[in-house]
A and B are shown apart, each in its own frame.
Chain A
Amino acid sequence: MEDCGEPQLDAKSKVTNQLVDFQWKLGMAVSSDSCRSLKYPYVAVLLKVMDHSGQVKNKSFEMTIPQFQIYEKCSKLVIIREMQIKITTRYHTCQKD
């Protein structure tokens, strides 16, 4: 994902989930049977997501550092900007919880 300017979501998944929890881990792969000198850092993420029926599932995945930094940068710059645009144009009602 090199260009994070234009949103292009044409969702392949039919179901949206709510994010319940986000856990992360910064790991370092040191060595493996195929490579004694791996030495690469990675970010591991565990998402707890809840579907419409209330069922909670765990989804985990890894990212390299450059990958993480691209996604983080896009999330911060673009989504925040878009959220703010939508917030400033919304019709205000009572907002206190």
Chain B
Amino acid sequence: MAGELEGSKPLSGLLSGLAQEAFHGHQGITEELLRSQLYPDVSLEEFRPFLAKMRGILKSIASADMDFNQLEAFLTAQTKKQGGITCDQAAVISKFWKSHKTKIRESLMNQSRWDSGLRGLSWRVDGKSQSRHSAQIHTPVAIMELEIGKSGQREGASKHFLQKNHDPQVESEFLCLEFDEVKVNEVLKKLSEVEESISTLMQPA
């Protein structure tokens, strides 16, 4: 039976399933589903520790956001451990991380973002023929609508990796703002300040 677990082909599918559940918020990927789909000839008792081992490895790699050197060193160490992984399995894991790293990282970043995000921005410029607040005629006014909402987050993570739940997406709030010329310039000045800070931060050390 151990030979069944050493095969590479189903391992790729297993890692996809683990990633979908752990990082991308796909619910309903149970131990039994993975076993029956990918390792049907392996008993649940034997499958469980194998799944835990792969889950732990994937979690470690994702948590450390390993680059390819770190990944190679880590996987080599895993092949030398008692009860570790085979070289073939290491190769499958390596290939998986290389092709899924960006997407997994993006999901992890979203999970860590607890404040609302800006989901969208729409705008229009009107030429107001009359203003309540002044006697000016044909004052341009920018109207901007911001779509603000929270992305999916983990809720009440349980001890079991496969039982974490993800909040469904919360509905957006639409915030409509009106800007006259003066306000537009003020805001754009602030945006330039932010951009300047970003440039300073991003400068190579």
Q: Which residues of A contact B (CB under 8 A)?
A: 1, 7-13, 15-19, 22, 24, 26, 28-29, 32, 34-45, 47, 49, 59-65, 67-69, 71-72, 74-76, 78-80, 82-83, 85-87, 89-91, 93-95
Contact = CB atoms under 8 A, between A and B. Distances in A.
B122 A8 contact: yes
A51 to B, nearest CB: 10
Nearest to B115: A62
B139 A17 contact: no
B190 A37 contact: no
A37 B60 CA distance: 10
Nearest to B194: A24
Given A24-B193, A35-B65, A86 B122 contact: no
A6 to B, nearest CB: 10
Interface hub of B148, B176, B179, B190 (most chain A Cβ within 10 A): B176
Given A16-B177, A87-B140, 8 more contacts: A18-B177, A24-B190, A43-B194, A62-B113, A75-B123, A80-B184, A87-B181, A93-B137
B138 A89 contact: yes
A3 B166 CA distance: 32
A60 B108 CA distance: 21
Given A9-B123, A74-B121, A83 B184 contact: yes
Contact of B127 (A26, A60, A89, A94): A89
Contact of B136 (A32, A71, A95): A95
Given A59-B148, A74-B121, A90-B127, A83 B181 contact: yes
Interface stretch (B33-41, B43-51, B75-83, B195-203): B195-203
Contacts of A63: 117-118
A73 to B, nearest CB: 10
B112 interface: yes
Nearest to B109: A40
